[in-house]
Amino acid sequence: MGSRQQRSSRIGDRAFDLARQFTEQARDFACEADLSSALEACARELGFHYFALLHHVDLRNRSTRKVHIDNYPVEWTEHFIQSRLFLEDPILRASLMTSIGFAWESVPNLIKISPRQQRILEEARRQGIGSGFTVPVHIPGEAHGSCSFAAAVGRTFPEKHLLAAQLVGSFAFEAARRICCTRCLSRLQAVHLTPRQHDCLVLVAQGKTDWEIGQILGIKEDSVTKVIDAARRRYDVANRTELVVAALFDGQISFNEVRHWQYPISETANRASRRSP
């Protein structure tokens, strides 16, 4: 018993050593080829044969700046893209329902698999793609993404290495974003709202007028207008609707704040608001 536990511990230590080495290398990858080569080598050491780094977008559109790096069989990748299977892929759909990595066998616990989606999984198996593990990536302002690892059909699924795969997948996708989506990253890092701009914008998104916002925050109406205009200039957008949308996508404000976080407003302000034409 003790010998088996020690052997298992050594295997786990080896997996995390591989993950640590990959995360250190990930900062220095200069191109897709470097990332792909290193990720394939790491995946194989962890017991996987295939990997796929994807933004969940229309993969047929070559003009879109996106992450798409994989070592799946070429025939499968071409079929997956040309037949638009990415629109219904149950693995990609399931990745929208969680923020942590999941084994593909657990997909029925995350979504209801349709007959069409079941056929997609069966097609993949016929191409040699067996059991897998997917790390979801949800970043404000970008399409959802994921890093998937898969064992070849007939090979043992490396369940003991999933925590290491989670770590590798997260760093691999971040490296891919840096390489493939430089412009997008620079935009996201360029805009930051002040606390006052944030509070005003949340209330704008809730449908409050500048006067109501002033009453809620205890500042003058014209001050509210100036704060919101300053935020609009930071985003270089033409109106408040575009400002709210941009801030939501960038994660500067959240849907949860807009929907649920309601500032108290005085009864006097409510009566005055109802009297306003």
The tens digit of pLDDT for each residue in 82-101 reads 999 999 999 999 999 999 99
Amino acid identity of residue 253, one-letter, is I
- The band of 276, judged by pLDDT with boundaries at 50, 70 and 90, is very low
**Helical (H) or strand (E) element with 189:** helix 182-190
Cβ–Cβ < 8 Å for 92, 58: no
Architecture of domain 2-187 in this structure:
2-Layer Sandwich (3.30)
CATH number for 191-270 (one of 2.40.50.100, 3.30.420.40, 1.10.10.10, 1.10.20.10): it is: 1.10.10.10
The fraction of the chain above a pLDDT of 70, given in percent, is: 84
What residue ranges do the domains of the chain occupy?
2-187, 191-270
- Measured CA angle at 143 (ends 141, 148), to 5 deg: 130
d(CA 86, CA 93): 9
**Is the predicted pLDDT of residue 27 greater than 90, yes or no?**
no
Cβ–Cβ < 8 Å for 109, 23: no
Cβ–Cβ < 8 Å for 66, 57: yes
Higher pLDDT, 90 or 7: 90
Cβ–Cβ < 8 Å for 133, 168: no
- The band of 272, judged by pLDDT with boundaries at 50, 70 and 90, is very low
* pLDDT at residue 223 in the model: 97
What is the C-alpha R_g of the chain? 24
**124: which residues sit within 8 A by CB, 6+ positions away?**
76
User: Can you tell me the mean pLDDT for 5-30?
Assistant: 78
Q: Where are the beta strands (DSSP E) in the chain?
A: 50-55, 68-70, 102-103, 129-137, 145-152
> pLDDT tens across 105-129, in order?
999 999 999 999 999 999 999 999 9
Read off the pTM. 0.70
**Is the predicted pLDDT of residue 5 greater than 70, yes or no?**
no
